[in-house]
Structures are given as structure tokens and as C-alpha cells.
């Protein structure tokens, strides 16, 4: 593995690979790598002979007052993990190397960013779309792998890729979870032992929603949400949003709407435990058994 900091050198390296006809799979991350990230890297390895992983805590996607300055940074340990996985290039630019002083471009993916996290994190998805478009240009990736854990992000990047005819495939990867079902996240390290115990309620809530739907396939959105809320509502957890939306448009559905009438319904939630904001989502599907 080689660690590169300069966007230009990454571009030159990839150009040489491409001359040899090699395809490139790319995994963008903000580092503090965990089993979820590593699963994405393994998927990348199965897709293409060359793999690039980026580690960049992108200031554009953090609003004022969010956790940019205290976001966990563990570059040395991350680099060791990626070396073991035999990644070809680790791209870890500094902020200065990545964004020129006169950088002003912003990419905005409309509609899909209006609700769910987009409503509570102003400017977040503009920052995400902008950094990803720039990273795709630098890495010239044929495949980019994104986790379903950040489902709205995955949809936004897929939409941007399609809208702008970007020559790459966005590949989704299922959420990797802890033994009790909590989605792996770099932000889990912020949780105290007590908060971590409370966080187990999040996967319990998504399971309760699925159980409610499976028990009553004629259920409406309100009753599915009530089942999730009952599992989640406890002192110490503040629900930011809890919604059912179609995967297609990510617009929260009316509580009176029958679940059956929603195309690919999915439960989305964000909750704060102490100072930590956690998100999760799950497909609401009558066909699959939820573990
Ligand atoms: P991040 O470093 O949090 O920006 O995440 C980088 C990539 O890893 C994104 O595509 C995330 O969706 C994905 N990711 C983060 N956590 C998980 C997880 N628990 N399971 C699968 N993918 C994940």
C-alpha cells in the first residue's frame, strides 16, 4: 500500500493503472475505521483489481456547532488496518491539499436532501456531494462503495452520479452491526458505558417496527412508528426524527397511509444520546426475517 496526500499524484497513479486496463474501486471514509468500513474495503477488493481508500474529515459537511474538531482521528491505526487488507492506495490529504484557498464550488442534490438528516443538518449533503464528486474526479473510480447505514447519503450520491452522467457505479453495502444490533459507527466511541447500553434501544426500535408491520400487514405508518417509538422513548434518548419513507424519494409518509401503498418503505431515525447523534434505518419488508 502507498499512502498519498496529493490529489495530483493520486490522479497520475490511477492514470498509469488505467493505461494497463485496470479498473478501480474506491471507498471514501472519514477514518476512525471500524468493521463496517473494512467490509466496504473487502467488497471493493472483490469488484476491481485496484482499490483506493480515502480518509478525509471533510469540513464542508459539518455545520457550525457539530463535532468537526472532536471527530475521532486515528490515521496511524487506520493505515495499519488498510495495509493488512492490501489496499493499493490510501489517500489522506490535508484540508489545504484538498481544498484550494479559492475553492467555491458547491454541488446541491435537490429534493432528496430536503427531509430526514437534510432537514436537521443544513448544508450537510451539499458538503457530502461536493467532496464525493471531487474524490471521484481524483480517483477516477469505476466503482464507489457506500454503506446503507447512511442511506440518505447513498441515495444522494447515486442520484448525483446518474444526474451528472458520472462514469462510475455506486455500489451499496448492508449495515454492519455490533452483536446487539447497534450499527457500527465512528461516533460510537463518544458513548459512555451507560449511553452505549441505551443505544441498544435503537436496533430494538427498528426491529419493533418491522415486527409490527409483519404482524399486521394492513398496518398504517402511524402504528409502525408507534411500535418503534415505544422501544425508543426513554429518559436519555432524544428522538430527532423517526419516519417511514419510500427509498425512492425519502419524503416522510403521512401517518394515515397504509404501509402496503408505499414503494420500498424504510424506517429512518436519528436520536441523540448525551452529546452523540446516532442514525439508523431499515427496510420494512414483509418478506424477510429480521434476526
Ligand atoms: P464515514 O467514515 O462515517 O463517512 O463512512 C464511510 C463509509 O462507510 C460510508 O459509505 C458509510 O455509509 C460506511 N459505513 C459507516 N458505518 C457503516 C456500517 N456500520 N456498515 C456499513 N457501512 C458503514
The pLDDT score that the predictor gives to residue 287 is: 72
The pLDDT score that the predictor gives to residue 290 is: 54
Tell me which residue has its CA closest to atom 18 in ligand 1: 36
Taking the CA of residue 153 as reference, the ligand 1 atom at the shortest distance is: 12
The pLDDT score that the predictor gives to residue 128 is: 98
In short, whether 150's Cβ falls inside 6 Å of ligand 1 is: yes
The pLDDT score that the predictor gives to residue 286 is: 86
In the beta sheet, which residues pair with residue 169?
A: 143
In short, whether 40's Cβ falls inside 6 Å of ligand 1 is: yes
As a whole number, the mean pLDDT across the chain is 97
Question: Grid coordinates in use for 191?
Answer: 458513548
Task: Average the pLDDT over 185-208 and give the result.
Answer: 98
For residue 172, report the distance from its CA to the centre of ligand 1, in Å.
10
The pLDDT score that the predictor gives to residue 289 is: 60
- Please check the confidence at residue 32 and state whether its pLDDT lies above 70: yes
The pLDDT score that the predictor gives to residue 138 is: 98
Tell me which residue has its CA closest to atom 6 in ligand 1: 29
Question: Grid coordinates in use for 260?
Answer: 402496503
Active site residues: 37
In short, whether 131's Cβ falls inside 6 Å of ligand 1 is: no
Q: What is the pLDDT of residues 70-105, one digit of tens each?
A: 999 999 999 999 999 999 999 999 999 999 999 999
In short, whether 185's Cβ falls inside 6 Å of ligand 1 is: yes
Q: What is the pLDDT of residues 216-272, one digit of tens each?
A: 999 999 999 999 999 999 999 999 999 999 999 999 999 999 999 999 999 999 999
Taking the CA of residue 31 as reference, the ligand 1 atom at the shortest distance is: 2
For residue 17, report the distance from its CA to the centre of ligand 1, in Å.
27
Task: Average the pLDDT over 41-58 and give the result.
Answer: 98
Tell me which residue has its CA closest to atom 19 in ligand 1: 184
- Please check the confidence at residue 7 and state whether its pLDDT lies above 80: yes
In short, whether 176's Cβ falls inside 6 Å of ligand 1 is: yes
Nearest to 266 by CA among 115, 72, 69, 67: 115
For residue 147, report the distance from its CA to the centre of ligand 1, in Å.
5
Q: What is the pLDDT of residues 107-147, one digit of tens each?
A: 999 999 999 999 999 999 999 999 999 999 999 999 999 99
Taking the CA of residue 183 as reference, the ligand 1 atom at the shortest distance is: 19
In short, whether 198's Cβ falls inside 6 Å of ligand 1 is: no
The pLDDT score that the predictor gives to residue 96 is: 97
Identify the helix (H) or strand (E) that includes residue 8. Answer: helix 7-19
The pLDDT score that the predictor gives to residue 288 is: 59
DSSP states of 232-291: H-STTEEEEEEEEEETTT-PBPPTTSBGGGSSSEEEEEEEEETTEEEEEEEE--SSSPP-
Q: Cβ–Cβ contacts within 10 Å for residue 69, how many?
A: 8
For residue 33, report the distance from its CA to the centre of ligand 1, in Å.
9
For residue 130, report the distance from its CA to the centre of ligand 1, in Å.
18
The pLDDT score that the predictor gives to residue 95 is: 97
User: In percent, how much of the chain has pLDDT > 90?
Assistant: 98
The pTM of the whole model exceeds 0.85: yes
**CB pairs under 8 A, 24+ apart, for 220-223?**
220/255, 220/256, 220/257, 220/258, 220/259, 221/253, 221/254, 221/255, 221/256, 221/257, 221/258, 221/259, 221/262, 222/255, 222/256
In short, whether 161's Cβ falls inside 6 Å of ligand 1 is: no
- Please check the confidence at residue 162 and state whether its pLDDT lies above 60: yes
169-173 vs 143-147, strand pairing mode: parallel
Amino acid at each position: 500500500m502507498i499512502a498519498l496526500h496529493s490529489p495530483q499524484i493520486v490522479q497520475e497513479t490511477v492514470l498509469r493503472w488505467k493505461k494497463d486496463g485496470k479498473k478501480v474501486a474506491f471507498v471514501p471514509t472519514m477514518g476512525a475505521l471500524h468493521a463496517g468500513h473494512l467490509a466496504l474495503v473487502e467488497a471493493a477488493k472483490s469488484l476491481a483489481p485496484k482499490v483506493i481508500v480515502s480518509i478525509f474529515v471533510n469540513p464542508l459537511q459539518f455545520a457550525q456547532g457539530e463535532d468537526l474538531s472532536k471527530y475521532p482521528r486515528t490515521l496511524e491505526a487506520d493505515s495499519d488496518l488498510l495495509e493488512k487488507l492490501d489496499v493499493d492506495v490510501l489517500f489522506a490529504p490535508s484540508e489545504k491539499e484538498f481544498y484550494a484557498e479559492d475553492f467555491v464550488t458547491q454541488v446541491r442534490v435537490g429534493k432528496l436532501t430536503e427531509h430526514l438528516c437534510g432537514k436537521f443538518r443544513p448544508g450537510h449533503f451539499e458538503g457530502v456531494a461536493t467532496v464525493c464528486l471531487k474524490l471521484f474526479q481524483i480517483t477516477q473510480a469505476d466503482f464507489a462503495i457506500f454503506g446503507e447505514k447512511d442511506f440518505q447519503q447513498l441515495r444522494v450520491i447515486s442520484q448525483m452520479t446518474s444526474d451528472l452522467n458520472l462514469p462510475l457505479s455506486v455500489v451499496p453495502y448492508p449495515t454492519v452491526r455490533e452483536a446487539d444490533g447497534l450499527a457500527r459507527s465512528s461516533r460510537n466511541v463518544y458513548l459512555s458505558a451507560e449511553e452505549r447500553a441505551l443505544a441498544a434501544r435503537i436496533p430494538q426500535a427498528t426491529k419493533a417496527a418491522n415486527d409490527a408491520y409483519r404482524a399486521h400487514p394492513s398496518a398504517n405508518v402511524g402504528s409502525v412508528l408507534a411500535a418503534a417509538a415505544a422501544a425508543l422513548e426513554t429518559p436519555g434518548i432524544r428522538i430527532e426524527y423517526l419516519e417511514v419513507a419510500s427509498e425512492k424519494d425519502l419524503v416522510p409518509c403521512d401517518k394515515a397511509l397504509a404501509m402496503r401503498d408505499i414503494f420500498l418503505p424504510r424506517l429512518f431515525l436519528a436520536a441523540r444520546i448525551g452529546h452523540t447523534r446516532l442514525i439508523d434505518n431499515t427496510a420494512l419488508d414483509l418478506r424477510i426475517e429480521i434476526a
